[in-house]
Chains A and B, each alone.
Chain A
């Protein structure tokens, strides 16, 4: 369960085999499908159950510089990261099933979303309505802007 997945970062500067080697030695995790409002504190709380965290880098919208639903977690030792894959991947944070995967290592610039509008690429194209990730995907935006941020339960969208 601590295996490398099939995802490979297309922006990685280096050969495929270099990437694979780094992934197999890495102590950095990519965490995906977070809600935009999930905080560093929540991430610390859950992921420190696998071991000491060296640092967390929140994924940010390139323009707004606000969290856009992913982050990197660096552990000190590989075993802790493996346990993260085994026991946290596929469980819930903020009621959402989150995904963890190996990452080749954080580099400056990789904390920004690569989507055209600043967030993650997947939020450009998805067609579902996800209240935790700004509502509709960017391409599927209805004319009236209905994006809801934050958790105030009174700010529910109109059905």
Chain B
């Protein structure tokens, strides 16, 4: 299967074909035949010179002839195809149908195997796999391999999960979704053969959908309004599509059904009954897929290429979208292949292909909480698509950008970030050419309105990918107010003779640092009381090193000297790290370091972000200081700028990754301790010395906060003491993490409450742009870090998100709880 399944590391090391050839070199005739059979099976349906039907007929005969010799291999292969190539479901089900017609026992064995595969997927929480296998089993009903009655029974017992008590909703949701997603394939057949049991299933589904809570929807939707397109939760959407499908007598126009051609052969076959399948019970380790809101951006009125976009509630829309997503999943590591496969979509003549592709890719890009793939993956695929579809794709992308811009007021801030990022990146690959003038309407709007904000942030990001002067060139002159500031340092001590309190110290430090003085020397200078130019000691005489003026003078002066590039700044920080650490010993010291860095570099958001990242890595400042600084009064004017969110985000992520790493290392160490204990226990009777010597010394890594694991050579085995130390380290880190979240959430609550109260007293509407932005960011903290935040929900509930809080703020917390309930 290595040809189809992307075993990427395998590919990288040996090249895609090498493994395949390696087997061939084995040389025996039966190996050759096996390989040929495998190749035939994998590629069935891809031969364009003959029809699928004749392909299948031929292949079925070949396999049938060889079944005796290769039965196990063929069975395994066919199950793998069913699991890994869901887009070819009906091709393989037909093949199985033909084989079953020729050989009833083989059919029975296949059914056993596919059922086992289904059960395994359920047990392993491989939900998507389970869903496509279930659908395949359903399709086997169409091919007369499985009896309709036993499949209906299976669907019934799966739907029984929706009646379970005390289990997470997401569990019930999944089982419902899995059953529903079989219906486009097998609905018709069940309707014809088993109408009333089918009706009962549909009723069960409807009852479940009506009573399930949908609190989470508001947190997951990208568009806050249903105008012009309703944003439906995924189960609701599919149900509407199923209802319409039923209304259309279960006929649809997308799914290819090669088995229809073979009906005369297949209907002679004997069917098998499925063994009873019981859904594995829920237990705490089970993780179910998170719900999502279906992303809708286009309808038939948007399409100008002559095709009809299937309606939002047509099953065709669902099928096309799912298929396109499967193509992307398959070629997600090769952007050229991905683009080619998308443009070769088998139904490209039935739908407006570029529009469908663009909507699917944006839905993946905007997916909450996190896109499945890197944003740059989508961006680069769009570039490849633009090369393949030179006449249409660029136009559709431009139209998309216009549509998104026009609706940007109702776009969630999470998606806003990604839209900004994508657009700036896309422009950078196309000479920044864009008809900005069409957006001149944004200039007259409140600067906090999403439209001018979007343009400002795009220009900021575009500047980072190019340079400042270029931005002036690419926009019309009246866009000047939206241009970013010229990114250069603002050194307050630039004037040697100024009367600033830190001026004399700065002058001293400037000379010393330029003359290559040592960090120790600098620390000594900083311990002296501050002096003015004429040598007078400033009162009160402070020999403390964390005096804010001293900190400010040092930080700004050093970083100004090193302002030429990132490398210069990093080198300076590294060289003088002992000074920084001394200054940052207190919380106030750390806050001042941040303030001073900001004062110097406020015009260069990128440099500021990168410096703060470096300071976190080198542990000059703690995550909590960054959080406190972001929410401080000084930073209020900056709060709604995207880079602030980037800084907060990277800070929380660093903390989370640190905790994850320590957890992993602790588990590894514990495991090692367990196995060495087992070994030494079992060697009680033998020569203990030899046993111990045979156990290889293992390399453990100890983590620095910066992100690397530093390998630590362990001569002895892991000791209890080491594990204890790791446990302590982890506990401390978790305490820090909890503290960080508490600070962040508390600060959000404070600023939002203040705003709500103030608007209430002033009798103003509270729904300002600032408010919407800030609530969006609060939601984003929950969503982006939900796995980590989960751990602390009860503390959050007890301490912060209490009943007395304003309902608007409390609502966000409840939406978060609803996500996993």
Q: Are A92 and B12 in contact (CB under 8 A)?
A: no
Q: A1-B336, A83-B374, A87-B380 are in contact. Are A42 and B15 (CB under 8 A)?
A: no
Interface membership of A109, Cβ < 8 A: no
Interface residues of B in 561-580 (CB under 8 A from A): 565-567, 570
**Contact of B377 (CB < 8 Å), options: A46, A87, A151:** A87
**Contact of B376 (CB < 8 Å), options: A44, A49, A82, A153:** A49
Query: How many residues of B are in contact with the other chain, CB < 8 A?
Result: 37
Q: A49-B425, A87-B380 are in contact. Are A76 and B708 (CB under 8 A)?
A: yes
Which residue of the partner chain A has the closest CB to B566? A40
State which of A10-18, A50-58, A119-127 sits at the interface with chain B: A50-58
State which of B110-118, B121-129, B459-467 sits at the interface with chain A: B459-467
Q: How far is the CA of A113 from the CA of B466 in the complex (A)?
A: 24
* Per-position binary interface string of chain B over residues 594-608, scored 1 when its CB falls under 8 Å from any chain A CB and 0 otherwise: 000000000000110
Interface membership of B346, Cβ < 8 A: no
**Contact of B429 (CB < 8 Å), options: A24, A56, A58, A91:** A91
Q: How far is the CA of A52 from the CA of B707 in the complex (A)?
A: 9
Q: Are B11 and A83 in contact (CB under 8 A)?
A: no
Q: How far is the CA of A94 from the CA of B610 in the complex (A)?
A: 21
Which residue of the partner chain B has the closest CB to A1? B334
Q: Are B12 and A44 in contact (CB under 8 A)?
A: no
Q: Are B567 and A58 in contact (CB under 8 A)?
A: yes
Interface membership of A116, Cβ < 8 A: no
Interface membership of B375, Cβ < 8 A: yes
A95 nearest CB across to chain B (Å): 6
Which residue of the partner chain B has the closest CB to A3? B12
Q: Are B466 and A83 in contact (CB under 8 A)?
A: no
**Contact of A49 (CB < 8 Å), options: B336, B374, B429, B610:** B374
Q: How far is the CA of A24 from the CA of B428 in the complex (A)?
A: 31
Interface membership of A39, Cβ < 8 A: yes
Q: How far is the CA of A50 from the CA of B334 in the complex (A)?
A: 15
* Per-position binary interface string of chain A over residues 16-40, scored 1 when its CB falls under 8 Å from any chain B CB and 0 otherwise: 0000000010000000000000011
Interface membership of B694, Cβ < 8 A: no
Q: Are A88 and B13 in contact (CB under 8 A)?
A: no
Interface residues of A in 47-91 (CB under 8 A from B): 49-50, 52, 54-58, 76, 82-83, 86-88, 91
Q: How far is the CA of A82 from the CA of B334 in the complex (A)?
A: 11
**A: contact size bracket:** 20 to 34
Interface membership of B431, Cβ < 8 A: yes
Q: A24-B13, A49-B425 are in contact. Are A83 and B376 (CB under 8 A)?
A: yes
Interface membership of A4, Cβ < 8 A: yes
Residues of A within 8 A of B565 (CB): 39-41
Residues of B within 8 A of A52 (CB): 707
Q: How far is the CA of A88 from the CA of B465 in the complex (A)?
A: 13
Q: Are A92 and B428 in contact (CB under 8 A)?
A: yes
Q: Are A56 and B566 in contact (CB under 8 A)?
A: yes
Residues of B within 8 A of A24 (CB): 12-13
Q: A45-B465, A49-B425 are in contact. Are A82 and B380 (CB under 8 A)?
A: no
Residues of A within 8 A of B670 (CB): none
Interface membership of B333, Cβ < 8 A: yes
Residues of A within 8 A of B464 (CB): 41-42, 45
* Per-position binary interface string of chain B over residues 702-718, scored 1 when its CB falls under 8 Å from any chain A CB and 0 otherwise: 00000110000000000
Interface membership of B469, Cβ < 8 A: yes
Interface membership of A2, Cβ < 8 A: yes
Q: Are B606 and A2 in contact (CB under 8 A)?
A: no
**Contact of B465 (CB < 8 Å), options: A55, A82, A86, A93:** A93
Q: How far is the CA of A76 from the CA of B336 in the complex (A)?
A: 26
A34 nearest CB across to chain B (Å): 13
* Per-position binary interface string of chain A over residues 100-124, scored 1 when its CB falls under 8 Å from any chain B CB and 0 otherwise: 0000000000000000000000000
Q: Are A4 and B12 in contact (CB under 8 A)?
A: yes
Q: Are A41 and B429 in contact (CB under 8 A)?
A: no
Residues of B within 8 A of A94 (CB): 466
**Contact of B607 (CB < 8 Å), options: A1, A41, A42, A56:** A41
Q: How far is the CA of A95 from the CA of B12 in the complex (A)?
A: 29
Which residue of the partner chain A has the closest CB to B428? A92
Residues of B within 8 A of A151 (CB): 467, 469-470
* Per-position binary interface string of chain B over residues 1-15, scored 1 when its CB falls under 8 Å from any chain A CB and 0 otherwise: 000000010011101
Residues of A within 8 A of B465 (CB): 42, 45-46, 93
Q: Are B380 and A91 in contact (CB under 8 A)?
A: yes
Q: Are A39 and B377 in contact (CB under 8 A)?
A: no
Interface membership of B383, Cβ < 8 A: yes
Q: A58-B567, A91-B383, A151-B467 are in contact. Are A86 and B707 (CB under 8 A)?
A: no
Q: How far is the CA of A46 from the CA of B429 in the complex (A)?
A: 11
A119 nearest CB across to chain B (Å): 19
Q: How far is the CA of A118 from the CA of B664 in the complex (A)?
A: 47
Q: A39-B467, A49-B376, A93-B465 are in contact. Are A76 and B12 (CB under 8 A)?
A: no
Residues of B within 8 A of A92 (CB): 428-429
Q: How far is the CA of A113 from the CA of B607 in the complex (A)?
A: 27
Residues of A within 8 A of B375 (CB): 49
Interface membership of B335, Cβ < 8 A: yes
Interface residues of B in 584-629 (CB under 8 A from A): 606-607, 610
Q: Give the one of A41, A46, A56, A95 with max B CB within 10 A.
A: A41
Q: A58-B567, A76-B708, A91-B383 are in contact. Are A1 and B374 (CB under 8 A)?
A: no
Which residue of the partner chain A has the closest CB to B469? A151
Q: Are B12 and A86 in contact (CB under 8 A)?
A: no
Q: How far is the CA of A82 from the CA of B461 in the complex (A)?
A: 24
Q: How far is the CA of A3 from the CA of B425 in the complex (A)?
A: 25
Q: Are B15 and A3 in contact (CB under 8 A)?
A: yes
Q: How far is the CA of A153 from the CA of B470 in the complex (A)?
A: 10
Residues of A within 8 A of B383 (CB): 91
Q: How far is the CA of A83 from the CA of B380 in the complex (A)?
A: 11
A128 nearest CB across to chain B (Å): 20
Q: How far is the CA of A54 from the CA of B614 in the complex (A)?
A: 10
**Contact of B567 (CB < 8 Å), options: A2, A40, A76, A82:** A40
Q: Are A44 and B606 in contact (CB under 8 A)?
A: yes
Residues of B within 8 A of A95 (CB): 431
Q: How far is the CA of A95 from the CA of B607 in the complex (A)?
A: 23
Which residue of the partner chain B has the closest CB to A152? B469
Some 17 contacts from A to B, beta carbons below 8 A apart, are A1-B333, A1-B334, A3-B11, A4-B12, A41-B566, A44-B610, A45-B606, A56-B566, A57-B567, A58-B567, A83-B374, A86-B377, A86-B380, A87-B376, A91-B429, A94-B466, A95-B431
Q: List 16 other contacts, CB 8 Å, given A49-B376, A151-B470.
A: A1-B333, A39-B467, A39-B565, A41-B565, A42-B465, A44-B566, A44-B606, A45-B461, A45-B606, A82-B8, A83-B376, A86-B334, A87-B335, A87-B380, A91-B429, A94-B466
